[in-house]
Chains A and B, each alone.
Chain A
Amino acid sequence: DTGVSQDPRHKITKRGQNVTFRCDPISEHNRLYWYRQTLGQGPEFLTYFQNEAQLEKSRLLSDRFSAERPKGSFSTLEIQRTEQGDSAMYLCASSRDSHTHDEQFFGPGTRLTVL
């Protein structure tokens, strides 16, 4: 299967610990997005990469969050000093570099639980 993959699928951590998530996009996709989804809500945009460049960050992305996409392939999202409010599903999506609509393909998500 050549879809978007995310690892791990589930992560339970204690408050104050650091966690890192990985996303592997579809290989020919230049664009990569991170979203966060809390219970009963739609996904909310966190950050966006065009190849290896991080071009936009949401105000939701506090200083404790950092994302990278070295070499424009896979991406990592790190949360430092986790808080209970960080508990959510973290979704990664990728798309082609298109000048029209930008259908995004989503991965299965990483569900984070902060105790």
Chain B
Amino acid sequence: AQKITQTQPGMFVQEKEAVTLDCTYDTSDPSYGLFWYKQPSSGEMIFLIYQGSYDQQNATEGRYSLNFQKARKSANLVISASQLGDSAMYFCAMSHYTGANSKLTFGKGITLSVRP
């Protein structure tokens, strides 16, 4: 069974500083994908970044980067130059490739608050 663990309590960061949100995962599948989604108070899940289990390099998307450490089974999200609009819930999720269903397994999420 797949499992995502996000154990950090609410995180606070000063505007324009960088912040790391932790995510560890557990799976016995050799092929999987790791995702980060942002959920603002409006409720919609917004895709941020993806990392494939066979990708050699860490994924980057603008101010977002994923620190992928396969041996440690961690996929931490790094947000650089935080903005007030980054205040939201952040979810780490994992999918595995069955050729048919790529359902996502989510963690419990982390609340990020950006201070001006």
Interface residues, chain A, with chain B CB atoms under 8 Å away: 31, 33, 35, 40-45, 48, 50, 55-56, 89, 91, 93, 95, 98-109, 111
Residues 1-50 of B at the A interface (beta carbon under 8 Å): 4, 33, 35, 37, 42-47, 50
Among the interface residues A42, A101, A102, A103, which one has the most CB atoms of the partner chain B within 10 A?
A42
| Docked pose: A50 CA to B109 CA in angstroms | 28
Q: List 29 A-B contacts (CB under 8 A).
A: A35-B104, A40-B109, A41-B108, A42-B91, A42-B106, A42-B108, A42-B109, A43-B104, A45-B105, A56-B100, A56-B103, A93-B45, A93-B104, A99-B97, A99-B99, A100-B33, A100-B97, A101-B33, A101-B102, A102-B33, A102-B102, A103-B50, A104-B47, A104-B104, A106-B44, A106-B45, A107-B44, A109-B43, A109-B44
Q: Which of B44, B47, B107 is A103 in contact with, Cβ under 8 Å? A: B47
B52 contacts A48, C-beta separation under 8 Å: no
CB-nearest residue of chain B relative to A3?
B44
Which residues from A are CB-within-8-Å of B104? 33, 35, 43, 45, 93, 104
Residues 82-105 of B at the A interface (beta carbon under 8 Å): 91, 93, 95, 97, 99-105
CB-nearest residue of chain B relative to A107?
B44
A50 contacts B43, C-beta separation under 8 Å: no
A101 contacts B100, C-beta separation under 8 Å: no
| Docked pose: A106 CA to B44 CA in angstroms | 7
| Docked pose: A44 CA to B102 CA in angstroms | 13
* 3 tightest A-B CB contacts, nearest first: A42-B106, A102-B102, A106-B45
**With contacts A40-B108, A109-B43, A109-B44 known, is A103 near B103, CB below 8 A?**
no
Q: How far is the CB of A79 from the nearest CB of chain B, in Å?
A: 19
A45 contacts B108, C-beta separation under 8 Å: no
CB-nearest residue of chain B relative to A4?
B44
B42 contacts A95, C-beta separation under 8 Å: no
Q: Which of B43, B52, B97 is A108 in contact with, Cβ under 8 Å? A: B43
CB-nearest residue of chain B relative to A44?
B106
B35 contacts A103, C-beta separation under 8 Å: yes
Q: How far is the CB of B9 from the nearest CB of chain A, in Å?
A: 12
| Docked pose: A100 CA to B95 CA in angstroms | 10
